[in-house]
Structure 1
């Protein structure tokens, strides 16, 4: 429990600055239907292993748990594991925390609970991640060469740039209606600098799959919990109807 709490606190600490970064930016809605799509979850797991698991760990998730989203043990071995890993291992990385702090300014947080840690009044954790992974742009003033709209001065580079391509963000200076004489830095849009391997629609779909997996990883039984909850509510509705009719039958001759 202590390790889980520590992981959650580390994730919150690293991304907490985003809450104050751009309050005018509205989070995009994550397509929730991906949570019940096994093919989407499997593709998300593949993207996570290939692009995220190099720096970020998921120390509270074992590879063999991927069987819950329809992967066989052989598929896990063939597509998800490095030669030295075993199916029963947890998803850890070999990145030295000291090196990570030097390279990125902070140790990349464990991602097991990242979707749950980012839930807020402005949207769900999935909404935040879905917007965040689609908001990177080139910024030569940053050490990594990348910046992010909803997390300014982010230490993480855009690891999915080959899929999305390189984009620049266009900003304009506008008068601040609340502070006469002052201007505000307003985002106007993105400009595509180089094409990616995926079209914009395909990239958004891939990010949705990745976020669906991150959301599932935070609570692998959530789909089962939802199905059970719906079944319980249906049972209670039927039981209430039967109890109501029985009560009417028992008391119909009582005056």
Structure 2
């Protein structure tokens, strides 16, 4: 019976892990993002790149400017000057306590891109940092696509390569290996037109963007481990007190 239960649990675990892997990577090899949400300098660069290159289409509708300012060590003045560009119903710039929504029309964006750009507040949790990092590095030229680009991580993507000025343009080069039934196609992306950044600089930019999205998906992760340490210390102290109380109450019995 124990062996049966163990085998069922193992099968369920494998199924869950396989489903998660398919949802995040779709069977595509993902590069390790190596992000650190405690690196405030990286997060500050990440929010700068996000606001300048991503937020025109993708909002962060479950996050507020002042929460990000608090966690990233930014002042209200820095936030108002460098991060807030949208206006409220009265035509005035949003306040720092506002949600990070953009001004793009969902109807128009659906017509332009085939579907409205999704909110990215939780993409760091749903896709994972490795997927985001690999996706932003995987655009290549494809004249058959409406935007002129495709993506090896997200095939037939409807999004343009908004970071092309930084990365440049890549082309997909494929070669066949083996013969007959055992033939396999091996594809690589080659940089054919350089951007304003070197490949290593672009990798760091994408890592900063990914780091910021990982943080936005779960801001509490900044302090969660610290809270866990405090809880364990409290439980350890309480266990000592409980032990001596137990000895005191039971000394007459023994």
TM-score, normalised by the number of residues in structure 1: 0.78
In the alignment, is the contact (CA less than 8 A) between 1:28 and 1:130 conserved in 2?
Answer: yes
* Per-residue Cα deviation, 1:199-228 (whole angstroms, up to 9, x for no partner): 222211111111111111122222112211
Q: Offset of 1:129 from its aligned partner?
A: 0.7
**Partner residue of 2:105 out of 75, 96, 100:** 96
Residue of structure 1 in register with 2:185 after alignment: 185
Query: In the alignment, does 2:184 pair up with 1:173?
Result: no
Q: Which runs of 5+ in 2 are unaligned?
A: 1-19, 88-92
Per mean C-alpha deviation after superposition, the further-off stretch among 233-242 and 223-232 is 233-242
CA RMSD of aligned residues (A): 2.7
Once the two structures are superposed, the pairs formed by residues 75-90 of structure 1 within 5 Å of their partners are 75-82=78-85, 84=87, 85-86=93-94, 87-90=96-99
Aligned length: 227
TM-score, normalised by the number of residues in structure 2: 0.78
Query: In the alignment, does 2:117 pair up with 1:108?
Result: yes
Which runs of structure 1 show a deviation greater than 4 angstroms over 4 or more consecutive aligned residues?
Answer: 18-22, 241-255
* Per-residue Cα deviation, 1:91-124 (whole angstroms, up to 9, x for no partner): 2222222222222121110111111122xxxxxx
Task: Decide whether aligned partners of structure 1 residues 21 and 78 sit closer, same or farther in structure 2, where only a CA change above 3 A counts.
Answer: closer
Task: Decide whether aligned partners of structure 1 residues 247 and 192 sit closer, same or farther in structure 2, where only a CA change above 3 A counts.
Answer: same
**2:74 counterpart SS class:** coil
Residue of structure 2 in register with 1:4 after alignment: none
In the alignment, is the contact (CA less than 8 A) between 1:22 and 1:149 conserved in 2?
Answer: no
Task: Decide whether aligned partners of structure 1 residues 30 and 246 sit closer, same or farther in structure 2, where only a CA change above 3 A counts.
Answer: farther
Q: Distance in 1 between matches of 2:205 and 2:242?
A: 49
**1:230 counterpart SS class:** helix
Residue of structure 2 in register with 1:235 after alignment: 234
In the alignment, is the contact (CA less than 8 A) between 2:40 and 2:73 conserved in 1?
Answer: yes
- Structure label with greater radius of gyration: 2
